[in-house]
Amino acid sequence: MHLSRLNMILLAFTAHGGQVMASVGWSADCPFKDKFLNESTVKPIHQQPATTRRVIHSTTRGSLGRFSRSKFLAASAIGGITVLLPEFLRAVKAGSMTFTILHTNDMHASFIGMGPSADYTPFTLNDDTTRGGYARLASLIAQRTAARKSQGPVLVLDAGDYSMGTAFSAATRETGGELHLMGKMGYDATTFGNHEFDLGPAGLGSSIGAAVKEGPIPAILAANTSFSGSDPSLADLQALTRKGVIRRYMVIERGGLRFGIFGVLGKEAMIYTSGGATGFADPTTAAKEVVKILREAEKVDVVIALSHGGVEKGPYGRYGTGEDVQLAKDVPGIDVVISGHSHTELNEAIIVNGRTPVVQTGKESNNLGELVIALDGSKLTVTSYRLLPINDSILGDRTIGKEIDQLKKSVSAAAFASRGYSIDQPLAIAPLDLPNTFTDITAGTLLANLVTDSFRAATKADIGFTANGMMRAGLLRGKTGVVSVYDVFAVAPLGSGVVDPTPGSSLVTGYFNGQDLKNLLEFLLIDNAAHPGEYFPRASGMRFRYDLTRPRFDVVTAIELGDLDSGYKAIDISGKDGRLYSLSCPLMLGPIIVAIPKYTKGKLALVPKKKDGTPLTSKVDALELPRQNPGYLLPPPGTTDVESIAKGVGKDAAHEIKEWQAIMDHLRRLPVTVKGELPVIPTDERAAEVRAIKLS
């Protein structure tokens, strides 16, 4: 099923304060929707304490449909075969056999983890606090494979979003570093998440092609993704499909068992996929088709789905619903679901229909999942399941470490050199952690103020604006306090160029009256129980008061514009004063802002305007509301007008103002106490100013 996409014209921008602002086309998707599924068939398995491969057969998209149900039934009759129900069609082995799946998901190119890059020491033990990192992950995969292979076959699998999230993905079109390193680490297969398409289908094709040139990569399994058609952006992906690099499924025979593995992209993830001319089919329908082939034609013993759909909490607060759980319910021929997309650390396997485990490891290579299963004829039993943390108790693999060092050079050239930066460049000193917290609004204020101050400084707008969930990572002090380009890029890592091709999404600016600003705040102050605090509004140049005991959509009691230096001045929020104020925010927040009237069914009016007050119209009829897994989201493709992006001036006139660039430039402008030393990020009372004042 193709999910409908929303094209809309949003804000008008104009020359202001030395910046060129123009009009942007944003698409609108909103995470403010809860969906609870029946948990009656779901139960958990409690967590336990902490190669050689031969691919027998794989089928590319072009060879599908050759084995029809009618042909199978006819052949069965001739051969005297008893035809069983699809969920029981398996080549039964004599006696119990055990196999192990080592798995990850949503690694987001976390090659050196997500701690301060200056602290990361993968080749010494117990001297940093960094979680994740591929050198350590590679070592643990090798260790656990060696430990488990005497007990039966071991598979290494990933559930997608292996790309985008750190500076290394900024050069993925040139290096294909993510897949290249996964190949080196011994992964058998992965699938597409929504973020593999962040650079469009042409960018994805370039990335996979670059990885293939460097050596073996894991099979990319995509049962509900199609690259048919004549659009030139699909050419590389079509060629990779013909070569079998991208396939619907694969069959691996290992240790006396035949494993059938396929991948699907979930419905919600499709909404945030910049797939361009790529086609996406309904994941359940595609899964049923492939499972039938695997059971009836390929005669596999075990069917494994790599599903980038996610899991969710049900009405009782336990993980037991979501697209990947529903997939297991709807397609009982699936034996195992390796889940991704929702960034959920499942310390217990979710057991569906009394037999099928759904597992997920979280995000950013923080953990390696280890799922051990016993297969006795048609009976499948989870023997154990645990998450193994990736930390400095693991000595890293030096070969992987050397590969990562080489990739750093390509990243600096592709992403940062045009703006005068390099990946390891130190920018400032963090005297304490600036966490990216959602549930603790006070703790996250330092980072939020720093980020929104940088937006306002970059565009000269009246207001710099964002929401908690738009900031992807915090800035941690670590051992030395040094904050590098790598660390700052992780705060705002997503997207690609519109005016220029360098990675990173843009800042955009539009004009709103006082009532518009009130309604924007009203909407974002509605908390989502599934993701508390993620859409809490953050601002620079604006201070507001709110009272959550007041009626819904009327909790904001006052808005003031200004700052501590110039003072604050109250503005009219009743709609009587039509004065307009400029607001700069991340591109990906725009879809939510413009669709507020639709999300609230007209209860909150908000009209994006040009500087002259001329309203712009939006096409919101086709919008599909996402559910409760915002994850790492981007607007759908084709929704951004190239005339709308904030640009630099002078020698930088051809460059967009990227989110990450605004933050880096702001840090470099901070005062230096001693010449030659790095500036210190302010953490005093002024830096921690409360700009969202809760009255009760």
Q: Are 301 and 90 in contact (CB under 8 A)?
A: yes
Q: Where in the chain is the domain with CATH 3.90.780.10?
A: 432-472+487-670
Burial 197-227 (b: 16+ CB within 10 A, else e): bbbbbbbbbbbbbbbbebeebbbbbbbbbbb
Distance CA 254, CA 251 (A): 10
**SS3 per residue for 377-441:** CCEEEEEEEEEEECCCCCCCCHHHHHHHHHHHHHHHHHHHHHHCCCCCCEEEECCCCECCCCCCC
Q: Where are the beta strands (DSSP E) in 126-218?
A: 154-158, 189-190
Q: Quick one: which of 105, 129, 123, 127 has its CA closest to 368?
A: 105
**SS3 per residue for 26-66:** CCCCCCCCCCCCCCCCEEEECCCCCCCCCEEEEECHHHCCC
Which amino acid makes up residue 259? F
pLDDT tens digits for 488-508? 999 998 776 666 677 788 888
Pick left, alpha or beta for residue 650 (phi over 0 → left; psi -120 to 50 → alpha; otherwise beta).
left
Mean pLDDT by 10 residues, the chain (696 residues): 31 30 30 31 41 39 36 33 30 73 97 92 94 97 98 98 93 95 98 93 96 97 96 97 98 97 95 89 98 98 97 90 97 98 95 97 97 94 98 97 94 88 95 90 96 96 94 91 95 75 82 96 81 86 97 97 97 95 87 86 89 62 32 42 48 70 96 92 96 94
Q: Looking at residue 437, what is its pLDDT?
A: 84
299 CB neighbour count, 10 Å cutoff = 13
Domain 432-472+487-670 in CATH: superfamily? 5'-Nucleotidase, C-terminal domain (3.90.780.10)
pLDDT tens digits for 437-489? 888 999 999 999 999 999 999 999 999 999 998 898 899 999 999 999 999 99
Q: Looking at residue 544, what is its pLDDT?
A: 98
Burial 112-147 (b: 16+ CB within 10 A, else e): bbbbbbbbbebeeeeebebbbbbbbbbbbbeebbee
Q: Are 514 and 144 in contact (CB under 8 A)?
A: no
- Paired tokens of 608: 């994006």
Eight-state DSSP code of residue 337: E
Q: Looking at residue 529, what is its pLDDT?
A: 54
Q: Looking at residue 626, what is its pLDDT?
A: 34
Q: Are 157 and 188 in contact (CB under 8 A)?
A: yes
- Paired tokens of 472: 């992807």
Domain 96-398 in CATH: superfamily? Metallo-dependent phosphatases (3.60.21.10)
Q: Are 454 and 521 in contact (CB under 8 A)?
A: no
Distance CA 333, CA 605 (A): 48
**Whose structure tokens read 């029981």?**
88
Q: Looking at residue 41, what is its pLDDT?
A: 39
Q: Residue 251: which H helix or E strand, with range?
A: strand 249-254
Q: Which residues lie across from 339 on neighbouring strands?
A: 307
Q: Which residues lie across from 466 on neighbouring strands?
A: 538
pTM for this one? 0.78
Q: Looking at residue 15, what is its pLDDT?
A: 28
Q: Looking at residue 280, what is its pLDDT?
A: 96
Distance CA 452, CA 447 (A): 9
Measured in whole angstroms, the distance separating CA 592 from the mean position of its chain's CA atoms is 17
Angle at 191 between CA 489 and CA 147, to 5 degrees: 95
Distance CA 190, CA 102 (A): 12
